[in-house]
Structure 1
Amino acid sequence: MSHTYILHSAILNKFYIGACHEDLEQRIENHNAGTYGAKSFTSITNDWVLFLKFDCDNYAHAIRLERKIKSMKSSVYIQNLTKYAELQDKIFNETKST
């Protein structure tokens, strides 16, 4: 299974949006450990926690969903995703392959 995930850092008060086709818990641990290099955005801090995740059927869908959320460029939109299940369903279904 693949995932699109949103992490939040309380220290930075920022979100990070990503996609993976591996163990999500391990992926978050890697972000917090700085495994992805000193130049990666998540290496700035080590307090990343899972804010929201989408379980996708395949990695291609996870990437499309990640890009769609990133294109919104809005922390308010990300917060609304947790408040309104219909918004989650809409964006999930919009990014499924046709």
Structure 2
Amino acid sequence: MVFNLYSKSVDGYYTGSCLDFTERFQRHLDKTYFDSYTRKASDWILYLAINGLGYKQVRKIEKHIKSMKSRRYIENLKKYPEMVASLIEKYGAGSSR
């Protein structure tokens, strides 16, 4: 799963990936990750989730979203589901990108 969290208090997004979102999300809320951006706030909510992907696909999509370094891009992913579909197709299971 690739996910985006949003915090109103820092007015920012965090992009990550995991196999078990419930556990990973709780670790972010508990501030388990010492050097993580998510330590800056306690009000993170799930903003966007992209499920049903293979491990390599998840990692490629996460890397792509982070490389965009764009708040607007993340917001558009939620607003325009066809953008998510395009990423899934672009970084499909057999993709070498």
- TM value normalised by structure 2: 0.89
Which amino acid in structure 2 is aligned with residue 62 of structure 1?
Answer: V
1:83 aligns with 2:67: no
2:32 corresponds in structure 1 to: 35
Q: Deviations over 1:31-89 (max 9, x none)?
A: 0101112x211111111110001114322211101001111111011111111111111
Gaps of 5+ in 1: none
Would you say the 8 A contact 1:4–1:56 is kept in 2? no
Task: Tell me the CA shift for residue 19 of structure 1.
Answer: 0.7
More strand, by proportion:
1
Q: Is the 8 A contact 1:8 1:15 kept in 2?
A: yes
Q: What percentage of aligned pairs have identical amino acids?
A: 33
Q: Distance in 2 between matches of 1:47 and 1:36?
A: 15
Tell me the TM-score normalised to structure 1 length: 0.88
Unaligned runs of 5+ in 2: none
Give the aligned CA root-mean-square deviation in angstroms.
1.1
Structure 2 Cα separation of the partners of residues 55 and 62 of structure 1: 9
Poorly superposed stretches of 4+, deviation over 6 Å: none
Match of 1:93 in 2: 89
Partner SS state of residue 36, structure 1 = coil
Is the Cα–Cα contact under 8 Å of residues 68 and 95 in structure 1 kept in the other structure? no
Q: Does 11-20 or 57-66 show the bigger shift? A: 57-66
Note if 1:68 corresponds to 2:60: no
Structure 1 counterpart SS, 2:42 = coil
Which residue, 1, 8, 11 being the options, matches 1:10? Answer: 8
Q: CA deviation at 1:20?
A: 0.6
